[in-house]
Amino acid sequence: MHSVVVVDGHPAIRLAVRTALTSTNQFEIIGEAGDGPSALAVIRELEPQLVILDLELPRLNGLDVIERVRKALPRTKLVVLSGQEESIFGARAVKAGANAFISKSEDLQRLVHAAHAVLAGYSIFATSILTSQSTLLDGSRPNAMIRRLSDRELTVLQHLARGLSNKEIAEILLISNKTISGYKARIFEKLSISSLVELVDFSRTHRLVT
């Protein structure tokens, strides 16, 4: 039996993943978490063989969780299960240390296959992401602009798109309000937008938030 921790902000998703994996009689779900900090605590305590996690997590995003788990538990396999665009987030997940990226729009059997594959030493990503991360060369102007954002800028953008204030974001990320204002200004500049209304519209159009 392979030990697994499932991390997602939605209990229904965690239940679906649990059901799909345990039905094979080859996986044991030893822990669950609904936000980033809780995920880190559970993973560090239980040291599972496999972690399945969303990128869009409350309080600490999935990319940050992946980076920290990869440093603390290098043998643990990490599978991203996300509703966000792999063309945009896949390369970031690779860089952070994930072993696979599966879309929530796919059948859960795809997730089960990925779980077996990464435990056997394989990686599951779109071919274009694994071949020198060629998606970075995508000529699409919106995609090119998004890829100019740092991981932290992307995190701030997602919080802003969900309606959080600068102060609320600063408290979540444990940085100053002034620093958030700086990130916000750079986001506006890189995306060529001038208002929060435009930011929300851009984020929804390009599935930066779900």
* pLDDT cut 90: percent of the chain above it: 71
- In tens, the pLDDT along 104-154 reads 999 999 999 999 999 999 998 865 555 544 444 444 577 788 888 998 999
CA torsion sign for 83, 78, 93, 9 is positive
Residue 137 included in any domain: no
Other C-beta atoms lying within 10 Å of the C-beta of residue 24? 12
Residues in the chain: 210
Look up the CATH number of the domain holding residue 179.
1.10.10.10
- In tens, the pLDDT along 148-170 reads 899 899 999 999 998 999 999 99
- Count: domains in the chain: 2
The pLDDT confidence band at residue 59, using thresholds 50, 70 and 90, is: confident
Between residues 86 and 114, the one the model is more confident about:
114
User: What is the span of the domain harbouring residue 50?
Assistant: 2-132
Same domain, 102 and 9: yes
The whole-angstrom separation of Cα 103 and Cα 118 is 16
Same domain, 154 and 103: no
Mutual angle of helices 151-161 and 166-173, in 10-degree steps: 130
The whole-angstrom separation of Cα 47 and Cα 4 is 9
Same domain, 167 and 126: no
Look up the CATH number of the domain holding residue 47.
3.40.50.2300
Same domain, 39 and 103: yes
The pLDDT confidence band at residue 58, using thresholds 50, 70 and 90, is: confident
